[in-house]
Chain A
């Protein structure tokens, strides 16, 4: 039995939409009666999942579905509006993000950013970039620090001669290695990869993915792999979470989810992957715009309107995430039919 590393329960993150009213407008509203509630963007809404020790979980979904917000909340860069984040036995959601920066568990969750060019300070050398978390989180200095930085760099296949260079003097792949080396230098338990290969050439992508696979074996980390490249997710991930408009609509073992998707959104995602054997017109296509994430109606399925088989029931009852055989979950009224 594998132990649970990260346990996310009913996590929610809402942002106020638009400008908050001024003090006078607020007073007037209060005297006029009625709640002074601002419209809110439901970026992450009631999301629960777990990541086991040594597991790779994929997180897929289109742009704007809340992947990045979810990742920023669970890496504790943002404070959740609601819900729990449990790392091992420790509940993290009560520690404000600002305080968590100096927390002893900070080093256990690290992240590799999407654009390595932008996530390394242009005025720091590669050495300084990798050394920063080691200094702050492990309190290393001097020879120990140098040794650790060099160890992390060679682990990530970054030639030691490049450590004195500035980011603009490195190639895209080398910068990606700096970003990875910085994240794994403190040997985290959970590494969040926010589309780590999206900004790279195809040839470099493969090398970086190989590197990530090897690092996982060597350091025994768990991965949360955020991507919209389904083929990569299928290759690397044990389990996959499919997100749509702030909610998880389907989850389960990666192979099963992509082979027999239960939710129409997952079906459309899989169908949208271009193929050489198939003719385009047979594919499932989504039409229409996604529903607004601002104060969504809690009784309407988020996918209603774009869903190819939406019926009246979808307008009056939000489908709950239900369990299916094989460790799968899906949030669709028709998932049972699809599963048969």
Chain B
């Protein structure tokens, strides 16, 4: 049998059939007017509204208490942010001041993480380095979020030439070993913090562009996009106010995941001598400097900055899930 019949396989079919056959039935007899439906203007002081901020805060609290791992990751994240902001003001020693008398001392009550070959306090250096490493990671992730996110959404929504250009650009970047590409960019442009940020952003571009493209593409034909056209929105407004807010949460999760990678990338560049230069306190340089002393037994010089690096990356990876729960309204109850 044709699709005409199967499409109507709903339970009201019997009623419907009766309606079609009984010739005398009219709309008024089957659909009596609703009782008391005369339109009354709404009462002026309207529905109680929870303010947007309060609702968001209570939702964040709910997500954090619901998931212990997320709560833990957020606590760690808060610690990193605090160290980045207040670290340099709180540390007991100047991270750059050398003290040859106290060189290569193991961890003690005086020097919690020990001292390096120049007698600099490793604890102070690890804490102070947070600002630089975290700053590079945040800056590069924000940069790639803007570049990759916008390019990807435009590619996915408009298709055609925009899509081809963005897609080929992403393919070209992906064709390189990413770390080698980052090395090349920094080596070519010069050893500055800005160039590390730029290089880290560029190597992450395909990840963002592709995710954003895929998400925008499925929403191109969505009902709410057509509804927005009917509501008089221009194509640009539809991309910015209808599609982008839907792609945003997915990119934010991506942001949290790539943040760890960005820190690793920045530290890696410094580790091989491209990037931040000594004597600046930076985790990658500190691990590189400490590596020479591991064989002679001074393990603390490389271990503690390495540990800080590991915890930071670990924290950002855990954060991803929690961030998604917070930014996605479908998780709100």
Contacts and interface: CB of A to CB of B under 8 A. Distances in A.
Interface string A199-222: 000100111011101100010000
A28 interface: no
B230 A122 contact: no
B239 to A, nearest CB: 13
Contacts of A69: none
Interface stretch (A38-46, A98-106, A312-320, A328-336): A98-106
A159 B19 CA distance: 32
A32 interface: no
A160 B42 contact: yes
Contact of A276 (B17, B234, B245): B17
A74 B229 CA distance: 14
Interface stretch (B26-34, B83-91, B107-115, B309-317): B26-34
B2 interface: yes
Contact of B232 (A107, A115, A120, A159): A107
B42 to A, nearest CB: 4
A274 B14 CA distance: 6
Among A209, A213, A272, the one with the most B-chain Cβ atoms within 10 Å of its Cβ is A272
Interface string A118-134: 11111110000000110
Contact of B20 (A115, A183, A273): A273
Interface in A135-169: 136-137, 146-147, 150-151, 153-155, 157, 159-161, 163-164, 166, 168-169
A285 B34 contact: no
Given A119-B226, A120-B224, A133-B232, A258 B4 contact: no
Contacts of A164: 47, 49-50
Contacts of B329: 122-123, 166, 168
Contacts of A159: 47
Nearest to A136: B232
B329 to A, nearest CB: 5
B23 A255 contact: yes
A113 B49 CA distance: 28
Contacts of A146: 46
B246 A122 contact: yes
A170 interface: no
A185 to B, nearest CB: 9
Interface stretch (B5-13, B123-131, B290-298): B5-13
Interface stretch (A11-19, A231-239, A294-302): A231-239
Contacts of B27: 213, 235-236
A214 B33 contact: yes
Among B4, B21, B49, B242, the one with the most A-chain Cβ atoms within 10 Å of its Cβ is B4
B231 A202 contact: no
Contact of B227 (A113, A155, A231): A113
B1 interface: yes
Contacts of A2: none
Interface string A250-269: 00000100110000000011
A207 B31 CA distance: 9
B332 interface: yes
A234 B21 contact: no
B222 interface: yes
B232 A137 contact: yes
Contacts of A132: 228, 231, 233
Contacts of A211: 34
B2 A272 contact: yes
B9 to A, nearest CB: 8
B234 A210 contact: no
Given A206-B31, A230-B20, A273-B13, A161 B48 contact: yes
A77 interface: yes
A75 B230 contact: yes
B31 A161 contact: no
A52 interface: no
Contact of B7 (A62, A101, A136, A168): A62
B256 to A, nearest CB: 19
Interface in B318-333: 329-330, 332-333
A182 B231 contact: yes
B25 interface: yes
B3 to A, nearest CB: 5
B37 interface: yes
A275 B19 CA distance: 10
B5 to A, nearest CB: 4
Contacts of B49: 164
Contacts of B227: 111, 113, 119-121, 179, 182
B3 A62 contact: yes
Contacts of B18: 275-276
A228 interface: yes
A290 B222 CA distance: 28
Contact of A270 (B10, B20, B37): B20
B8 A102 contact: no
Given A62-B2, A154-B40, A275-B17, A101 B232 contact: yes
B230 A210 contact: no
Nearest to A98: B235
Contacts of A147: 42
A210 B20 contact: no
B222 to A, nearest CB: 6
6 A-B pairs closest in CB distance: A119-B223, A231-B16, A133-B231, A136-B232, A275-B17, A121-B224
25 contacts: A72-B226, A101-B232, A106-B230, A113-B227, A115-B223, A119-B224, A119-B227, A124-B224, A137-B231, A137-B232, A150-B42, A150-B46, A161-B47, A164-B49, A213-B27, A229-B16, A230-B20, A231-B15, A235-B19, A255-B23, A268-B4, A269-B4, A273-B16, A274-B8, A274-B13
Interface of B: 1-5, 7-8, 10-21, 23, 25-27, 30-34, 37, 39-42, 46-50, 222-224, 226-235, 242, 245-246, 329-330, 332-333
Given A213-B33, A285-B1, 6 more contacts: A118-B224, A155-B39, A214-B37, A228-B7, A231-B17, A275-B17
